Structure 1
Amino acid sequence: MVDVMLCGASDTRDVQKQFARVTNELGGEPWHYLSGRISYQNKATASWVTNSESTVRNAHLCVFVILKSYGEITWTVELQQALSAGIPFVILCLEDTYREYLALKRWVDVDKSIPDAGRRNLVQTLSELESTRQFTVVQFEMDSFAEVYRREAARCFARGLQALAARAQREALAALLHDPTRLTTRDLVAIEELAVDEFEDKTWRKYAVEALAERGSADPDTVLALVNSREQGIQRLAVDRLADLHRQRPPDPGFLDDCVRVANTSDDAGLARRLIPALFDMDVPAAIRALASLDLSEIGTRRRLSGLLVEHENICRTGELRQISIELFSKCVLKTEESGWIRRAVDCLERLKQE
């Protein structure tokens, strides 16, 4: 049974019967506070706010309806609860009210020119819904409410079925992730979508990244999105497998510059340390050029970079790379206490300067 909650001011009684009829026709259970069909507890600490929050939290779909009146609990409590709980919802507004809102918003100072608090709050609420939150407000006439509600509810159900289909597809893909050689071109497209989905299970996403690395088929934009992921584990894995994910050789300089920018803005100090060898694995000259703009304020980053520069000293001597390498070495040894890696870096720096 699908539980559908009608949310709005007291004047929603005018569409209550149509709402209940359509909901029943769709196989749902209509909830509305005026009918008492809500989630509630009658006790000493009972409140309409608590009841509203509980009802929204337990509903499968919320239908917010605007007629003529402003419902404070509807917009200050129920909408916020639907958003925080991730409950699907639609917003329906009487066409006459919507036209009045547009006229008032366009021609008057809402705060100063509408003395009635209810009308003023309603105009401000509609403005927030559309302009600030960028929600879609669907208009209806009184004799078309049932038709409009049925259509919008059906769209929500269709999106739900699409989500189920997408989940089933991803579960099928999960069975293939351990054997990337079996993946078709179509599978790889779906796996790219899975890998960059910040709301998907982290373990599945990691398997997807590994599969893309094994096949070397990821789009550059996808790879950059993975490097810039909000999930630290995905971000680090993408950097560790960067040479396999981005197989263009020589690598695109713009792509490498973007990776360095991500590392510079990351709160994870380990990301830059991981990025340095990843870039060197792709192409040493390109890595040296890109790393010229890397933030070297962290000692571990300086140590990692200087070690690889020393290891590739012969390449550092060639063409414009010599001057870039001198500048990088100078940054690496600056304000750093004496140690083995510092001595090696300084020795290499001196040799480059003498040429």
Structure 2
Amino acid sequence: MVVGEQGRALNALTLPVAADSPSRRERQWSRYGAASVLTLGGLIVLAVSVGVAVTLGPADVSLVNVRDILLNHLGLAEIPVRVSEDAIVWQERLPRALVAAACGAGLGLCGAILQSLLRNPLADPFVLGVSSGASTGAVAVGMLGLGGSSLGLSGGAFLGALVAFGLVLLLARFASSGTSGVILAGVASTQLFSALTSLIMFAFADSDEARGVMFWLLGSLEGMRWNDVGLSTAVVGVGAIVCIASARSLDAFAFGEDVAASLGIPVARTRVLLLILTALLTATLVSIAGAVGFVGLVLPHAARLLFGQRHARVIPATIVLGAVFMVWVDAASRVAFAPTPLPVGVGTALVGVPVFVLLLLRRKGRA
């Protein structure tokens, strides 16, 4: 029997237990009941965070006014409010906060998937170049018209993310430095697709277009609308359902593909499904908000630190932490240099880069 936090997770996956035994029922509560309580508490914190974040900005809007506007639009009340305040909350700040929450949840989810599948704590869509590939695909469609109107920004970003991730896996296969080869391949992929994006902008964009694209590439939540909310939350919701259903498989992948196969998990099919899901999530969120970095790197580690290694708890914790984190980073970015907003990707990098360095030092200390 293996000891330690990861050992307990592996023992829970492998040790046979009678179907009606109390220990099995206790483990089921530990897996699903605790996750449900965590999710409910996290959603309450998220709702409060969104409500407070909506009040922040150049124009003062009280939390009471936010409540009244929400009740009016939900058809639960008819409370008189100013037209200007209604427009600020319902048409500008609330969609922006909800898209920020969806981006944080989705990118954190991508990081949790990649770190488990690749067995590398430094994996996330930004570090592996998937975000850069998605950015290149979106810029190629938007500025070059590749694929026409039938493809769209999300479709171009999805294809770019798939190409970038395929390139990373191909380069890592020929690397001689173990799991760190994936990170080195990701660095190479990031530089390549960043250069391609810059080349497209230099060759085909005027100064105004280039300025707008550069601001978007740094991560921008300006001009979010309710259709962006619907798309981002729908994709993240599907991703969350698939990942929660795959929690046991992700637990097994953390110990290697041989362990996962010995437990009866269809390794190849599960890996392909989760990697495609990661590319879809990354591509959709990049096409909406730009290349927001390091969220997928930081939040899964915070979730594991707080709630252990089991993905039945890590996944909902990462979703909630990522959503709350991005809501507050966006709020701070919006008011720090008001009235000029700071790109949200700058805020996430200021937090993510120090954590990335700490993880590198931690890995070196364990080597």
- TM-score bracket for the superposition, by shorter chain length: under 0.3
Structure number with larger C-alpha Rg:
1
Greater share of strand: 1
Greater share of helix: 2
After TM superposition, the score normalised by the length of structure 1 is 0.20
After TM superposition, the score normalised by the length of structure 2 is 0.20
Which structure exhibits the higher relative contact order, with contacts defined as CA atoms closer than 8 Å and separated by 6 or more residues?
2
